[in-house]
Structure 1
Amino acid sequence: MNRVAPTGILGFPVTPFDNKGNIDELALSQNIQFQLDSGLEAIFVACGAGEYHAIDDSEYETVIEIAKAVVKGSVPLYTGVGGNLTEALSRAKISEKYEVDGYLIMPPYLVQGEQEGIYQYFNTIATSTDLNAIVYHRDNAVMSLETIEKLAETPQVVGFKDGHGSMEQNIEFTQRIGNKISWLNGMPMAEVTMQAYVPLGFNSYSSAISNYIPHVSRNFYDALLAGDKETVHELLEEVILPINRIRRQGKGYAISLIKAGMEIVGLPVNSRNVRAPITPIKQEHYEELEAILQKVAEKYPSNLTKSL
């Protein structure tokens, strides 16, 4: 087992549903292929963007089967596990059965435990298989330095994904732990905050917009690493921040806004087909996003979407 977490821009495909509420398997396959064609460095299926909370074990296996068939080992393939501990352990075993590279361990269901309980939750899941594990620091799984230090000693734990956003904590974590594990930016619309994360040693991030305008995310990240402040500023001002302002207008938009963007650029997703408690974005927000993406198509054209 290669004990290294993926670096670069990480793809988190949504789970598309048809008009009957079933997984649209062809659409999922095509959307994963779109992300691979765009050059993303890893694929994470059945995570938050993939509506992990709303799919059953059979659907979970279907998603992994499709992803495995499309990815074919070309990039690391990760799954999501978490929530109910028993369910997380079961899905970790399913992931192991399909020989994926690892999984992202999401926060536990509902309850907030003491630091020892949070450690036991992450460690129990991480050590239940030999797959790589990335722990997700957010919501009711906000960890202390001591907890992360202990988890970093678990061989299966290869990465820390931050969705909490405390830069004071992140400085302390990265200073003390260093390169024992990898550091991933998991904040919503991670492009917004990546300028602050890169100097700390965070060398990858999950990109929501890479579901529909991956070339913008790539141009942004390349410019950021190259010190091209002009391009970074331009993409933030014209694309990233305007989309993020829409995302902040509704709960659940972290998922439904992605599906809307995919539909607008011509990818095979019906943006209204989400599962409760997620709801589709409002029409006025859809039209705002459509206007932004039209400008993107004109100023930053992509060969990937021209034929869609």
Structure 2
Amino acid sequence: MNFDGILFFPVTPFDADDRVDEGLLRTHISTTLEHSPGGVFPACGTGEFHALSAGEVARVVRIATETVGGRVPVVAGTGGPLGHATAVAKTAADAGADALLVLPPYLVGGPQPGLVAYVEAVAAASDLPVVIYHRGNAQYSVDSVRRLARNPKVVGFKDGVGDVGLAQQIVRAVAEEGREDFAFFNGLLTAELTQGAYRGIGIPLYSSAAFAMVPEVANAYYRAYVAGDEARRTALLDGFYSPLVRLRDETPGFGVSLIKAGLRLGGLPVGSVRAPLVDPSPEQEARLAGILEAGRALL
């Protein structure tokens, strides 16, 4: 799989009865596709995978693949309890996804051989290649990633931990395995804030939750990043991303909640987040509106 551009993680809209709003999801994905993402990752972190049933994940992924229509890769989320993860992997394959992003297993922390076995079990559940997500209770050692890289169905590594030294060692270990087809992603929250460092260790791709909310601002950052325009890039960091991160860090889960709030502010009624996440307060939402306005003014 080749990714050329920002990685788009759509939200999952819910209607007034807390059902997945399929029409609004199509609208959200199709309008954001106009801003040329490098890939679409439905039912992942920003899409509230943690709060979706297996059936809901299957519908979200199918809508995404139908809407994308093969223009860019579609990588579906899976993870959690092993039985749930393998079931979701199968339905994602049936829905036409191109690959899977393997989120951490549910709650428990296993040793490294167990984490490797978890990924291998998910990979074996369908014909889809998988990307491992290094985060939370699924933090992989260099040797574990080296072992997984020997499996041709494991095609990528997404870092959500932020240990740059460890990430560098993992990049080099995969290179030593001769995997030129292996993709590396910066998957930290608001990845734009750290992407300058990740580019330096050989991780050029990053996921952007902000792209789901303000794709025009996210693309302005991406163009500056690719062109090496540091003055433009740092202006966007100082004027938009840093204030957004300060607001995000006030409340756990705001990495998702603020994106949905921003979409609502923009006129797309995507509904609230599901528990255990919470929506921003009216005061926080007003501050978000100001941050969005400042970001757009920089364009």
- Same fold, TM-score > 0.5, yes or no: yes
Aligned to 1:303: none
AA of the residue aligned to 2:128: L
How many residues in Structure 1 have an aligned counterpart in Structure 2?
A: 295
Aligned to 1:196: 197
Conservation of the 8 A alpha-carbon contact between 2:168 and 2:202 = no
Return 42-51 or 172-181, whichever deviates more. 172-181
Matched residue of 2:130: which SS?
strand
Aligned to 1:54: 51
Residue of 97, 102, 125 corresponding to 1:105: 102
AA of the residue aligned to 2:278: T
Gaps of 5+ in 1: 301-308
Distance 1:5 1:166, change over 3 A: farther
AA of the residue aligned to 1:193: T
Q: CA deviation at 1:252?
A: 1.2
Identity of aligned residues (%): 38
TM-score by structure 2 length? Answer: 0.95
Matched residue of 1:80: which SS?
strand
Question: Whole-Å Cα distance in 2 between the matches of residues 173 and 43 of structure 1?
Answer: 25
Conservation of the 8 A alpha-carbon contact between 2:105 and 2:138 = yes
Distance 1:80 1:48, change over 3 A: same
AA of the residue aligned to 2:245: N
CA RMSD in angstroms comes to 1.3
Question: Whole-Å Cα distance in 2 between the matches of residues 267 and 203 of structure 1?
Answer: 31
Matched, 1:92 2:93: no
Conservation of the 8 A alpha-carbon contact between 2:236 and 2:298 = no
Q: CA deviation at 1:145?
A: 0.4
Aligned to 2:154: 157
Return 84-93 or 219-228, whichever deviates more. 219-228
Distance 1:146 1:130, change over 3 A: same
Matched, 1:45 2:27: no
Conservation of the 8 A alpha-carbon contact between 1:31 and 1:268 = no
Aligned to 2:167: 170
Q: CA deviation at 1:146?
A: 0.4
Matched, 1:227 2:224: no
Q: CA deviation at 1:60?
A: 1.6
- Equivalent positions of 1:255-270 (< 5 A) are 255-270=256-271
Question: Whole-Å Cα distance in 1 between the matches of residues 167 and 53 of structure 2?
Answer: 34
Conservation of the 8 A alpha-carbon contact between 2:5 and 2:36 = no
Deviation per residue, 1:218-245 (Å, 9 max, x gap): 2212212222110011000000111111
TM-score by structure 1 length? Answer: 0.93
Conservation of the 8 A alpha-carbon contact between 1:265 and 1:293 = no
Gaps of 5+ in 2: none
Question: Whole-Å Cα distance in 2 between the matches of residues 239 and 264 of structure 1?
Answer: 16
Q: CA deviation at 1:109?
A: 0.4
Q: CA deviation at 1:55?
A: 1.3
Conservation of the 8 A alpha-carbon contact between 2:236 and 2:295 = no
Matched residue of 1:131: which SS?
coil
